[in-house]
A and B are shown apart, each in its own frame.
Chain A
């Protein structure tokens, strides 16, 4: 049993008149301690894949299992507590400073303010942005914002971190630090599933996958060889 398992997952996006297939019978398995990065062009469906994998969206067809249990339905809500979904576009403007933002999730889980503060500071320290604790989100640069977003997820101690484009908008010198942080998080035993629109985001991954035309390609399970489908006749695009 894998920590996360997507089995023949399909999802259609209803953007535009015709809509489009974002995911086409996608299969994927992830184990604890793995860093798996999905590369794809803009509108390739990579963000949809991550939202489906995190249980935030249900697939049209197929199954998403976390620790062996289907994420669909009511039981999935409890399971989702073990999954941290993280968007690095972290710019809330509600007047709270960074540490207060990070501790929100902990307070919502019933921790006392002091325990929440302790947990938030620990997560910021782990993400390498302890010095940003008292800043407003608007004062963070791209790299700091990404690290704070990661800290907000880490504070909840998930066993799977799903992170959409962790290096988007991060300058060259800060980017490698983010990749190293994700690598170290996986090395500590957490599974990390990330997306990237640039191959620069693939460095350090255990598996590099590509998503295009709704198809996920590469080593879809740590126990399998890379999937390079032997092609039959090419499908007409109109069927997408």
Chain B
């Protein structure tokens, strides 16, 4: 019986390219990232003050922080997609980044006359709606790719995919978001990204079993 199986598997053998796993996950990320960008352009459009915004530090902090979280999520996903995958440095680095961002935010608050607009902004609900929404295509693509892989811990791999998706969604959303508070970024963007991470955890537990 097992001999039969071996024969069938050997007949079914197709070559696998080196780094096929990396290609698969990167391909899924790029494709779904494009979907997220198009969705953002259709639903929200770029922020109107784009030209002046790109000269500010807040804009580039938003750009860098979200992109960094997306890439850290990708790095974790690439490792956790394997049966023997364990990794910790992406999480520690992400926590370190959040710490650095909080320090910047406190410095900005200390210099400001009115703190509340920098913390609460005027679009918390908008951010917490659109960040997960724009992350969904990426999360979907990543989970679809991961289903062909073999994560040692399905829930954790789902979380990593969620952070990658959340970071990408937030990065895309940042082009449409005119908030200027670092603390707004540190609190609400992070919350939006972690929410997507939680969705990924829950879905991963069921969808990534093998």
Please determine whether chains A and B interact with each other in the same assembly.
Answer: no
Q: Which residues of B contact A (CB under 8 A)?
A: none
